[in-house]
Amino acid sequence: MTRLAIGISTCPNDTYAFHGLLSGAVEVPGVELDFVLADVEELNGRLLGGTLDVAKISYHAALRADGSIAMLSAGSALGFGVGPVVLGSKRRAERTGPTRVLTPGALTTAALLWELFHAGEAETVHVRFDQIPGALSQGRAELGVCIHEARFTWERWGVDWVEDLGQRWEAETKAPLPLGGIAARRDLGEDLLARLDDGIRRSIDCAKKDREGALRTMRAHAQELDDAALWQHVELYVTDDTYRLSEAARAAVRTLERRARAAGLLAAGPELVILGR
């Protein structure tokens, strides 16, 4: 039996997709999974730092890897209408000095998009994603690049909607936006990675068949969403590309890589390996 440390976020799309595996209803033959649920930027650092074997990480982080990881075909958050949004403090006109923008972590795709579209326009400060709306509400920063539930809950914070970075990406590239996916150590071997890939797909199938059980799993980890918002989150972020990456999705990852390298935001490195077809 191979024991693996696997990290996913607490966001409803992840806990829904991994419901079967988290609940024990689905197993990966020959593998015991030790789950860690954490913020995406923590998962980025832990996977790249080698303290996790498998993790949901940002595609930005994956593109910065050294070739020792591969992306699975199952488990991605990728699509249209799913991008990070820029919110603004209603008190931003009162502040003096450089404009400050909060992002949910240096390795997040959200931070990469901000730099692609707004490089040099503000002083960037990286904080945990769930701290951004409150900081904007309190006027501690002018702008914030927000992910996850902030797309659904932003109005309750008394902030302004400034820009949808995903919509801008779609307008410029005509491609879906690659937010994050399941990365794994390549030295685990093709057979084990294929079993993990299959296990995630069976876990998604389990969630589809067991909606009440999946809802309980999501509720156990949700930050601040009611049931309707949980399902809205799943409908937006869990797509056919979560089940299996399409050719269009794979091409979108290459587009993100090309644009980031052309802008000088990524150093030269090996092409990201994406498994399966």
For 91-139, what is each residue's pLDDT tens digit?
776 666 678 999 999 999 999 999 999 999 999 999 998 899 989 998 8
Phi and psi of 262, rounded to 5°?
-65, -30
The domain boundary residue, chosen from 148, 173, 198: 173
Instruction: Yes or no: say if 12 and 233 are a contact pair by the CB < 8 Å rule.
Output: yes
19, 60, 148, 233: which one is catalytic? 148
Query: Do 96 and 140 fall into the same domain?
Result: yes
Query: Do 141 and 167 fall into the same domain?
Result: yes
In angstroms, rounded to a whole number, what is the distance separating the alpha carbons of residues 142 and 140? 7
In angstroms, rounded to a whole number, what is the distance separating the alpha carbons of residues 136 and 117? 21
Query: Do 168 and 215 fall into the same domain?
Result: no
DSSP annotation of 120 reads T
For 142-194, what is each residue's pLDDT tens digit?
999 998 777 777 888 889 999 999 999 999 999 999 999 999 999 999 999 99
Q: Is 19 a catalytic residue?
A: no
In a 3-state reduction of DSSP, which class is residue 56?
strand
The domain boundary residue, chosen from 173, 200, 233: 173
> What's the mean pLDDT in 237-265?
96
CATH number for 123: 3.40.190.10
Query: Do 48 and 16 fall into the same domain?
Result: yes
Band (pLDDT 50/70/90 cuts) for residue 35 is: very high
- pLDDT of res. 224: 62
How many distinct structural domains can be found in the chain?
2
- pLDDT of res. 223: 65
For 192-202, what is each residue's pLDDT tens digit?
999 999 999 99
Query: Do 161 and 182 fall into the same domain?
Result: no
Query: Do 75 and 204 fall into the same domain?
Result: yes
CB atoms inside a 10 Å sphere around CB 248:
12
Helix extents (H) in 109-226? 109-118, 132-137, 150-153, 165-173, 190-209, 211-221
- pLDDT of res. 74: 98
For 10-28, what is each residue's pLDDT tens digit?
999 999 999 999 999 999 9
Query: Do 74 and 92 fall into the same domain?
Result: no
- pLDDT of res. 97: 65
Q: Which of 151, 126, 148, 165 is nearest to 45 (CA)?
A: 126
| H or E element at residue 79 | strand 77-79
For 56-103, what is each residue's pLDDT tens digit?
999 999 999 988 999 999 999 999 988 999 999 987 766 666 789 999
The domain boundary residue, chosen from 114, 145, 173: 173
Domain containing 120: what range? 85-173
∠ CA(132), CA(133), CA(136), 5° rounding? 85
> What's the mean pLDDT in 47-53?
96
Pairing relation of β-strands 2-8 and 123-126?
Answer: unpaired
